[in-house]
């Protein structure tokens, strides 16, 4: 069977005649007063129990461990399959004052382990009497305590009853007063409401009539305005259509002229490209350098823009942070104010709720009367809303028509703007055509001047060769002799200062002269570039060249052997001469062949041609 048993554990200290400690354990049942079993364990008995059951705890720690085991049994007593059990086993079939063993058992799926087994002896008559006397004594003490509590509670309840009865009588009087006041107040309110309702009905009827009259007047005015605006817009539309036709005709004419100009442009561009291909060979080096400079400038501009954008973003973020801080401070202050006001309102609401509950029942009747009146008002308002919806729809139709007219106006304006843009493009193309034509004329003039320069130089060289042949005898130059062609022309003019004996043709004079193997002079192969220093040569020839007697070429030129100075100015859009080498030549080679009036200065004699010859 299963019982609820009370276990009392006590440590008894005995000092006579020797100081000892004993552990007393007592088993009792609250339902059966004669159920009593005792166990006293001394330190010597505990040692024998420890050796028998294999305990690992000392006598001082044994009581606490025993209590822990009992608590585990109490925790698992309500489970279907408890882990820890307390078994009270007796040898007799019933508990008839025979020794009993108390076992603490742990259940496993494999085995029942007994952690501790203690043998209890049944209580003697004297022990049972003592136990019962103690129980009676405790019960009497509890009874006395309960009687004192009962008396105190009765006195308190009688006091509370008398106090509540007095309060009830006072509150009933107050209720009667409030009922009387409420009835008078409700009658007054109903009278006021009835008067106000009648007055409001009259006002609503008057307002309705006024609104209807105003609405009819506004409707007539709007219809008149709408008809006028439609007539005006139709007139505008007709004018705009006429303007649009004129503009389209102009556009077609402009397109035809643009096509003709484009055809002319394509022809002119082909000619320009042929002329520019020769210029590009000299400009490629400059373009590469310009491209590198442009790329570096782009990189610098990109970096500067990035820096500016980052600085602006930092400033914007700082401003946002300051604004958010200000908003936070303001919200916190408002929160504190609102919390204080909400607390005050809650207190006031609690006070009002008590008064409203008593008044709500009687207000419901008044609300029913008011609801009926509100229903009548709603019917009137619905009729007004229908009239308002009709007017709103008419206004929407008017607005849509106005939007359509505005769209047509915008489209006409856009067409005018596009036509203006195209006219501007035509003007730009005409300007480009004029500029290209001017450049072509300039290039043609430059070509003519270049041809004149080439012919003049060829004449100069031929005159120099003829003069050298006639004036200088072959015996005066110590080993240098000029070969004569079959037509009595100097075939190989000899250069005595340098040791070169190659012939110089009119166009070959400015090309590279090959150095012979027996030449010892370091300046025998001095390449020269045909450049603007030839201006000096032309000026010197004007100053100290005289045509030979009886020579027809000098007579034809007269005094003006050189060209004007404007043909030797440097120009960027110049075209190099074909047939002339750009290698360099020292002017000392040509000086003996130039007819002179007076010896040139030593500076002029030794100056090399260094600047570029213009196009």
Q: pLDDT (tens digit, 9 = 90+) per residue, 65-75?
A: 999 999 999 99
pLDDT (mean) for 264-279:
83
Question: Given pLDDT bands bounded at 50, 70 and 90, which one contains residue 93?
Answer: low
Residues 6+ apart with CB under 8 A from 24: 8, 9, 10, 11, 12, 38, 39, 40
DSSP 517: T
Average pLDDT over residues 247-268: 88
pLDDT score for 275: 78
- Residue 18, C-beta contacts closer than 8 angstroms, at least 6 positions apart: none
pLDDT of residue 233: 92
- pLDDT tens digits, one per residue of 465-494: 898 888 765 444 444 443 334 344 444 444
Average pLDDT of the chain, as a whole number: 76
Q: How many Å apart are CA 239 and CA 37, to the nearest integer?
A: 128
Report the range of poorest mean pLDDT among 17-21, 27-31, 171-175, 429-433.
Answer: 17-21
Whether the per-residue pLDDT at 207 is higher than 60: the answer is yes
Tens of pLDDT, residue by residue over 564-603, are 554 445 444 444 444 444 443 444 444 444 444 444 443 3
Contact 477, 494 (CB under 8 A): yes
28 within 8 A of 85, measured Cβ to Cβ: no
Give me the mean pLDDT over the 289-300 stretch: 84
Query: Is-contact 116 52, C-beta < 8 A?
Result: no
Please compute the mean of the pLDDT values over residues 507-522 and round it to a whole number: 39
Predicted local distance difference test score (pLDDT) of residue 360? 78
- Spatial CB neighbours of 583, under 8 Å, sequence gap ≥ 6: 510, 511, 512, 527, 528, 529
Place of tokens 């006293």: 40
> 289: pLDDT confidence band, cut at 50, 70 and 90?
confident
Distance of CA 356 to the CA centre of its chain: 57
CB 615 within 8 Å of CB 446: yes
Output the six-digit token pair for 510: 């400015």
Stronger pLDDT, 500 or 474, i.e. the higher one: 474
Task: Give the residue from 364, 548, 579 showing the smallest Cα distance to 469.
Answer: 548
Q: What is the pLDDT of residue 375?
A: 87
Q: Which residue has the higher pLDDT, 286 or 611?
A: 286
Cβ(545)–Cβ(601) below 8 Å: no
Cβ-contact 510, 529 below 8 angstroms: no
* pTM score, whole prediction: 0.29
In the chain, the percentage of residues whose pLDDT exceeds 70 is 75
Q: What are phi and psi of 572, to 5 degrees?
A: -75, -45
């Amino acid at each position: 069977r299963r019982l609820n048993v009370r276990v009392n554990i006590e440590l008894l200290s005995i000092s006579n005649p020797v100081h000892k400690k004993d552990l007393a354990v007592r088993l009792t049942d609250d339902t059966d007063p004669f159920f009593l079993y005792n166990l006293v364990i001394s330190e010597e008995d505990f040692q024998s129990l420890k050796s028998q059951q294999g305990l690992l705890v000392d006598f001082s720690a044994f009581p606490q461990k025993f209590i822990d085991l009992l608590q585990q049994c109490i925790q698992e007593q309500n489970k279907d399959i408890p882990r820890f059990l307390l078994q009270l086993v007796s040898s007799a079939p019933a508990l008839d004052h025979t020794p009993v063993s108390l076992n603490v058992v742990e259940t496993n799926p494999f085995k029942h382990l007994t952690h501790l087994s203690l043998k209890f002896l049944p209580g003697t008559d004297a022990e049972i009497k003592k136990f019962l006397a103690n129980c009676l004594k405790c019960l009497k003490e509890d009874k006395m305590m309960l009687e004192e509590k009962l008396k105190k509670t009765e006195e308190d309840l009688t006091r509370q009853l008398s106090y509540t009865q007095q309060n009830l009588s006072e509150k009933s009087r107050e209720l009667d007063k409030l009922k009387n006041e409420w009835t008078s107040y409700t009658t007054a309110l109903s009278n006021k409401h009835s008067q106000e309702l009648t007055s409001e009905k009259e006002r609503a009827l008057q307002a309705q009539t006024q609104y209807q009259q105003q609405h009819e007047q506004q409707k007539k005015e709007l219809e008149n305005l709408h008809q006028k605006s439609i007539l005006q817009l139709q007139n505008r539309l007709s004018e705009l259509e006429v303007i649009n036709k004129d503009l389209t005709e102009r556009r077609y004419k402009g397109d035809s002229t643009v096509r003709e100009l484009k055809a002319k442009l394509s022809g002119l561009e082909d000619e320009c490209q042929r002329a520019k291909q020769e210029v590009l060979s000299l400009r490629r080096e400059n373009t590469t350098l310009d491209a590198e400079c442009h790329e570096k400038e782009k990189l610098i501009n990109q970096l500067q823009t990035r820096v500016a954008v980052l600085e602006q973003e930092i400033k914007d973020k700082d401003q946002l942070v300051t604004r958010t801080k200000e908003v936070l401070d303001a919200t916190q202050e408002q929160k504190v104010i609102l919390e204080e006001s909400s607390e005050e309102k809650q207190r006031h609401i609690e006070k009002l709720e008590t008064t409203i509950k008593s008044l709500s029942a009687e207000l419901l009747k008044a609300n029913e009367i008011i609801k009926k009146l509100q229903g009548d008002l709603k019917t009137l308002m619905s009729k007004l809303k229908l009239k308002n919806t009709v007017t709103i729809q008419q206004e929407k139709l008017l607005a849509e028509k106005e939007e359509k007219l505005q769209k047509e106006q915008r489209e006409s304006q856009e067409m005018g703007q596009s036509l203006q843009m195209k006219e501007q493009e035509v003007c730009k193309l005409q300007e480009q055509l004029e500029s290209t034509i001017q450049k072509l004329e300039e290039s043609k003039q430059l070509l003519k001047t270049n041809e004149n320069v080439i012919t003049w130089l060829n004449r100069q060289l031929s005159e120099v060769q003829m003069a050298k042949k006639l004036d200088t005898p072959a015996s005066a130059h110590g080993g240098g002799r000029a070969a004569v062609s079959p037509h009595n022309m100097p075939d190989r003019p000899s250069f005595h200062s340098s040791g070169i004996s190659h012939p110089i043709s009119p166009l070959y004079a400015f090309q590279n002269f090959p150095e012979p193997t027996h030449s010892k002079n370091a300046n025998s192969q001095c390449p020269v570039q045909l450049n603007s220093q030839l201006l000096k040569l032309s000026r010197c020839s004007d100053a100290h060249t005289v045509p030979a007697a009886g020579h027809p070429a000098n007579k034809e030129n007269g005094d003006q052997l050189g060209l004007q100075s404007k043909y030797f100015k440097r120009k960027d859009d110049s075209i190099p001469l074909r047939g002339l080498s750009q290698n360099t030549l020292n002017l000392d080679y040509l000086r003996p062949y130039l007819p002179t009036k007076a010896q040139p200065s030593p500076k002029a004699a030794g100056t090399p041609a260094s600047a570029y010859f213009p196009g």
